[in-house]
Structure 1
């Protein structure tokens, strides 16, 4: 008998904090519950250079990291001449402090889209007392929220030289005092757990895959799944998605058939959608998208496994997300590509609709609030779509900037991080 799917939103909480501070914060890449959703209200539907822009902050250089926000402090990384810096910006749009994290600011990696990306692409995390930041050259550091360095380490020295075609952009996930990170490239396939206060290694495990062609080059980030029988660390890359025990990294389940043996030479970029009774696993390059119920799941999950709910092959009407991570609102899963936007039934995988949004490169992940989904394109256009089984576009908004970072939502505002500016969007 197949597992049932409950009508619940994603609730994979990854930090333990005071409830009052939580509601007004975006503490890490995918938000307060690690699902791309925010409880904030009063967000604008429409904006432009002269409409509902509360302020814009000129950044010292390019970067692709999503801001993390706690109270009145916004933290993000950017290049600045020859450095990668960590910035603290107030919610008033004024810089409070900056710190040099690494001297690798001018390093830019070729990107298949033609736009170079930098070492300032992994997103910081905060618990309201400290900020953790990873730089593409392997520097991992912890600062106090006042800018004092707590610890710094070089992951290339500890785990070997990075060998990856388009650079390292993994965002560590913070959970109950531990940083979890997948280090997956042609030179290593590792999962690592570090003490967040000291940076000391708790454990590391090998996480193998087929390992042919581009497959070992992983651009997705580790995440924490919470649900009955959890929590588990979820790793995605090198032909598989796997779940691991937090105490020692031991593998619990492995999703199969994402990159078939006859073509096992593609890399994964998009990260899975995690919710208590549903994990949706994208692949890439017209591979399948797989959904399963992780509660009680064990071993190899392939077609016919009791935990699997649905498996969508590529077709003329559906394409697996190649870069943008899926998002779930209620009982509907939304997925985006470089223009096509899909809605599928979370229980069955039935395609509810496919619509065409702004045709442009899409690198920002989807975020949702107040029953709306914000789809940000690299060319500065954000399409706002109403959540529901039928397609309804509410607005198309344009800003003069380039956007690769996922938006952050806090304090009744939408923060859009561009190559040139950090934009605070709100109702004046």
Structure 2
């Protein structure tokens, strides 16, 4: 998998265009394979701003792709579609573009949509098209990608409401709870048993991960427009606002 770079593009600008996946050899840029991913979604609904993720199931790796009213699994060597599940746009609305990316962890695949529904599948049950659970309640995400550690599933909506669900059953563990006032476009980050949620005012709410809601801190930066998700490396957090790139951490590290 480290030998391929996967790119998504559209073949033309028509509303019914097919999204195409093109893996490139990162050292040469040569095309490895090309695979069209058909959809019957219409108008804006074929559009997706999602990032594919990798699923490990039955000793094999699959590429999980979300968009165009479907979540699909693909063979990374050939691009061939292995499975497909719908139900993401049950009313076949014309404006159901998807921004949040899929998650694959601990034998589960989570497929967010335009707020509702969010579908959760056990990897082996996906071909049946029947989700293990679905979420249509409050704090349903639109733009921010949820985060999961395999036990707890955390989701933040555009208004900054956060909720924690049982990752296997979808039952509410706590929430919804309010984070710092402001719109949230950045995805939450889970690291060191803490949940970091940054809003568009560059305010980061830090929560304790786990079965109880606990606010640890609220940290303000320069107040400028912020839609980038925090990144974590070498015990430091990097936050990019419209004015600055911040590196936050212990100076001794």
TM-score if structure 1 supplies the norm length? 0.54
Cα offset, 1:248, TM superposition: 1.0
Cα offset, 1:189, TM superposition: 1.4
1:327 corresponding residue in structure 2: 147
2:122 corresponding residue in structure 1: 293
Residues 1:271 and 2:107 are matched in the alignment: no
Gaps (5+ residues) in structure 1? 1-174, 303-307
2:217 corresponding residue in structure 1: 395
1:406 aligns with one of 204, 209, 229: 229
CA displacement, residues 316-368 of structure 1 (integer Å, 9 cap, x when unaligned):
xx243101111113511000012110100011100122111123221211111
1:214 touches 1:265 (CA, 8 Å); kept in 2?
yes
2:69 corresponding residue in structure 1: 239
SS in 1 for 2:33: strand
Q: Which protein, 1 or 2, shows the higher relative CO under an 8 Å CA cutoff with sep ≥ 6?
A: 1
Count of residue correspondences = 244
2:187 touches 2:229 (CA, 8 Å); kept in 1?
yes
Report the Cα distance in structure 2 between the residues aligned to 1:398 and 1:206, rounded to whole angstroms.
Answer: 44
Q: 1:195 to 1:300 in 2, by over 3 A?
A: farther
CA displacement, residues 119-150 of structure 1 (integer Å, 9 cap, x when unaligned):
xxxxxxxxxxxxxxxxxxxxxxxxxxxxxxxx
Cα offset, 1:370, TM superposition: 1.4
1:182 corresponding residue in structure 2: 8
CA displacement, residues 374-404 of structure 1 (integer Å, 9 cap, x when unaligned):
0011111000010111211110100013221
After TM superposition, what 4+ stretches of structure 1 lie above 6 angstroms from structure 2? none
CA displacement, residues 239-294 of structure 1 (integer Å, 9 cap, x when unaligned):
1111101111111121211101442531000001121311111111x421111121
Report the Cα distance in structure 2 between the residues aligned to 1:212 and 1:300, rounded to whole angstroms.
Answer: 24
Gaps (5+ residues) in structure 2? none
Answer with 1 or 2: which has the greater Rg: 1
CA RMSD of aligned residues (A): 1.7
